[in-house]
Each structure stands twice: as C-alpha cells, then as structure tokens.
Structure 1
Amino acid sequence: MTIEDMTGKTYQIWPFRSDIEEGGLNIGAIDLTRYPDRIDEILELNLMPTLKDKVLRINKENTAIMTLGCWLGEAPDIQGVLDAYIQFCFRPSVNTTGINLNNLDDLFYEHVEEKAGKEARHSMETRLEWFVFDVKLYAQHPVKALHVAVEAYTPSDLESFLSPLVNWLHSEFLHLAS
C-alpha cells in the first residue's frame, strides 16, 4: 500500500492549543508521555476503552512511539458510519534512520497476516488509510507523523482496527526506546 502525504489543514507544531472548529470543540493536544493522568480528558477514548488502555500504555511506558491525537465522530459523507483516526510519531530521542516510514503500513500488514491470516490482512488493508505529515514536537523537534484513519459502524468496530496497530507499534519498536 502507499502512505499518502496529508493534504488539507493540520497542525504544524505539537502540542497545539484547544480550539473551536466548525462548531465543535477541539480539546487540543494532550502530551500523554508527560501527563498520562489526563487521558480521561480525551473523550473519544472513553468510547473505546480497549484502545484507551493501549494508548495510555504506549505513552506512559518508555517506548519508541508517542501518540499525538485521535478523533471519533460521524462520517460526514455516510449516515450511520463513524470515522476515527489516531496520530502518532517516534519520540524525538529515537533514532529512526533505519526505518522507512513510507513502508510502515506494509510492515504492519505483514504482521497481521503472520498473526491472523490473509483475510485479516485484506480487511486491514482495505479499511485503514495512512497519511504522513511533518510536525515540530515541542516547537523544536521536526518529525514525520502518521495519521491512520478508519470507518466503521460502532466504536467497538473502530477499536478492532486501531488497537492491533497500537499494540504492534508498541512491541515492534520497543527495542529503539532509550
């Protein structure tokens, strides 16, 4: 698959402040690596408790990955369908020179196939959309961030796609953590 460049408006410096966007509240970015106790403020994760636990773990522990944000809401183009995404990057202290970020999706899909078979891989490949964008962490560390989106009918369905991804990110790159 191909990870596409993110088009459209997105933040360029992280963490970003809260804002009101198109009639809805954006609580801003919460740095869970520094403030894991604030996870309950991320309302989307309260609807996805399994994913919430995995997001807390990947941020709280000394891992190579940190999450930057997530979202869950109604799909704008299909009634009764939910959209969700998770955004993440490698922590600034992690040396990523040996990692091809444009190939991260394929590595994940290979893992899914190895663990759950070709049908599971096909399901993930057809449902997940991957994007990459540039961001400055703490206004000083330029990194490539990834945005992985999925559509489904229920928060539980969304979790079934995003939770395995967060699990894989945690275990696959743990050896890079300092």
Structure 2
Amino acid sequence: MESNDHFIKFPYRKEVRDNGDINNGGIDLVLEPQRISEIHEINGFTWLKRFIQTINSENGFFMTFGCVAGREEKIVGYIDFSVRPQATSSLRTYVHNLESLFYSYLHESMSNMGQENPQQATDYAKMSLIWEETPLEIYGQTYSKLTVIFQVVSEDAAEWIFSHLEYFLSEYFPSLPHVKAQRPVQM
C-alpha cells in the first residue's frame, strides 16, 4: 500500500495523478458533512462510510483527514484521524496513547460481552491494524494525527473492527473522566 506521508497539511488540494486516479483533496466533513458523497474511496464500504460520518459528526471529538479502502486478497486501506483543532493541547497528547487505550477497551468490551477468549479477539485486531503517528498541520495548528492501516479477511471482520473503533472514538474515549473534564464546551 502506498504511504500517505505527504498529506501533512489539512485541508490539502485536489490532485489528479499521472495514472488518472483522483484525490478529491482534504474535505473538512465536520464543516461540510454533505460532501461525504465526493469521497469515492468509500464507495461499496458501508462500514467505512458510517465510521467517517460518526467520527465527523457535529458533537464529535475527533475528525478524519483521508482514507482509502480496496479489495485485494483481503480488504485493505487506511484512515487518517485526530482530535479536532479545538481540543486543548493536553488532550492532543492522548493521540500518542490511543492505540493501547483502544486495545484495552476492546479486551474489556469482549470480556463484558461474555466472549470466551477476549485475548483472541484483541490479538486479531492487533494483527489487522497498524497504527502510525505522523505530523499534522491544520488551520495553522501543528500536532499529530494517526493513520490506521487495516488488512482484514472479510467485510464482516471490517465491520466488527470498525464498529468497535467507532464506538471507542465517539463514545468511550470522550466519556473518560480525565478527557471529559478537559473537553471544550463547543466541539
């Protein structure tokens, strides 16, 4: 999979590549949610579209910056996201810990759901996701974003992982007491 390290400054311009592929540029779906229809990279992946809509929802804590999904032997792709620019600088530092916090949440969630072997589910997610932290410049501010690269065996597996990641980012993490106490009123 091609690296997306050159997408540091958001929003970025539309790009037509030499091979004819079109990158629609960085679309701020928090400000313009109706533009989700322009993101052709999510066509055919309802779980990814739902994830992006939820993460960029009006009262959300995080926002997305780019994504791609495709079917090869497996379902592969990536999604870029981070906290919104209104987040305090101390909340931005939690980006460094999101991967371990997510796996802790997943293990606890699987245990609470009566999963016979919660470690097996957590290990599957760890094998399916690669987390990378890269720089982000957004609206004159600089901090970090996360790129989650995924490789899963089926639509069901993608739905499972992304529904948990969606819940973690939209409900679980923002409700943690130390996060909730620092959350700006209008996000």
TM-score (norm 1): 0.83
Q: Secondary structure at the match of 2:85?
A: coil
Question: 2:5 touches 2:134 (CA, 8 Å); kept in 1?
Answer: no
Question: How large is the Cα RMSD of the aligned pairs?
Answer: 2.1
The residue that corresponds to 1:109 in the other structure is: 103
Q: Deviations along 1:137-176, whole A, 9 cap, x unmatched?
A: 12x0112100001112444533332332122111112532
> Which residue of the partner structure matches residue 141 of structure 1?
141
Residues 1:126 and 1:177: Cα distance change in structure 2 (over 3 Å):
farther
Determine what percentage of the aligned residue pairs are the same residue. 28
Task: In structure 1, list runs of 5 or more residues that go unmatched.
Answer: 1-6
* Corresponding residue number in structure 2 for 1:3: none
| Structure with more contact order per residue of length (Cα contacts < 8 Å, sep ≥ 6) | 1
Q: CA deviation at 1:82?
A: 3.2
Structure showing greater Rg: 2
8 Å Cα contact 2:54-2:166 kept in structure 1: no
Contact 2:15/2:25 (CA < 8 Å) preserved in 1?
A: yes
Tell me the TM-score normalized by structure 2: 0.79
Number of equivalenced pairs: 167
- How far apart, in 1, do the equivalents of 2:129 and 2:144 lie? 19
In structure 1, the residue corresponding to 2:108 is in which secondary structure? helix
Structure 1, 127-136 or 80-89: larger mean CA deviation = 80-89
**Which runs of 5 or more structure 2 residues have no equivalent in the other structure?**
111-117
- Give distance in 2, aligned partners of 1:12 and 1:64: 20
- Matched with 1:56 is 53
What letter is aligned with 1:160? W
Cα pair 2:136 2:143 within 8 Å, conserved: yes
* CA apart distance, 1:93: 0.8
Residue of structure 2 equivalent to 1:21:
17
